[in-house]
Amino acid sequence: MADGHIHLTWLNGVDVERLALTDDEILAAVEAALVAQGQGGAVLEPRVHLEPDPRFRGHFNVLRGYLAPLDLAGIKIVGDYVDNYLQGLPSEMALLNLFDPRTGMPRAIVDATAITEMRTGALTAIGARHLAPAGARVLGHIGARGTAYWNVRLVAHELDLDEIRVHSRRPDSREAFAERLRADLDVPVVVTDDWESCVRGADVVVEASRLAEPTPLLRTAWLKPGALVVPYGTMSAVELSLTDLADKVVVDDWGQCRTGKLGALRAHVDSGRLSEQSLHAELAQVVTGERPGRERDDETIV
């Protein structure tokens, strides 16, 4: 019998770390969520943003959803601050609040910083599983933010890579990132001094840069025909011509892309270059088989 009081489960970062989730467990959990989304068992509300003060060079992302197979509703708040490294803090820190979807009773509060990093990497890797060119061997990764490690680790889990290239704005961050990857992965890691050297000729390109404002630093002309390009983040780093080049555009959720003032493809939607009519699919539709993934080796897919 309910007593009217809130009884919460609290998981801090150490608790989450002790779960010691494997790569396969992470990928399976995210894939199950995508299947639920594709089958109508999920509700995803467009994210909203809170920017307290431009001087702080950061903002909060507020994400909301319901997942029927888990019988949970959730609200996640992610602080995204460009200069946090100066204080020895992660650029992104997250708190997840879970609720009973039938009564609204709070169920749990979770330090979701690591979970957010894993979830982002898994989504990138599942996208690569379905959309990367056959025999993809070279991954070019821009950015060394918190989610970057799991992007590379889980893409390397999915693809038989011969080379991983990494670049980020600060030399110290890209070198530290490369050393962490070398310690954990049995794939050669090359640090590049510029965006072009990282991207040109790569079979899979992941753009996860940390920008204070939208800046088109990733040039469309550098991209290899037939590549898979995965740009994400609040501040866009791609040119408008990217979607003109693409044979297919696949997004995680069209509702997230359609609204708001920020996002990797915000300008493409606002300019009409990307619309619901020109969109090939949501990733969940590809995972469930409702829509095809890659169909030809020469398809350039975003």
- Check: CB of residue 301 under 8 Å from CB of residue 286: no
Which pTM does this prediction carry?
Answer: 0.94
| DSSP letters spanning the chain | ---SS---EEE-HHHHHHT---HHHHHHHHHHHHHHHHTT-EEEEEEEEE---GGG-EEEEEEEEEEGGGTEEEEEEEEEETTGGGGT--SEEEEEEEE-TTT--EEEEEE-HHHHHHHHHHHHHHHHHHHSPTT--EEEEE--STTHHHHHHHHHHHS--SEEEEE-SSHHHHHHHHHHHHHH-SS-EEE-SSHHHHHTT-SEEEE----SS----B-GGGSPTT-EEEE-SSS--B-TTHHHH-SB-EES-HHHHHSSS-STTHHHHHTTSS-TTT--EEHHHHHTTSS-----TT--B-
pLDDT (0 to 100) of residue 3: 82
Q: What is the mean pLDDT of residues 73-80?
A: 97
Given a cut of 80, whether residue 45 has pLDDT beyond it is yes
Q: What is the mean pLDDT of residues 86-106?
A: 96
pLDDT tens-digit profile of 200-228? 999 999 999 988 788 899 999 999 999 99
Q: How many residues make up the chain in this entry? A: 302
Given a cut of 90, whether residue 191 has pLDDT beyond it is yes
pLDDT tens-digit profile of 59-70? 999 999 999 999
Q: Give all domains of the chain, ordered by start, each with its CATH number.
A: 9-115 (3.30.1780.10), 117-287 (3.40.50.720)
pLDDT (0 to 100) of residue 1: 53
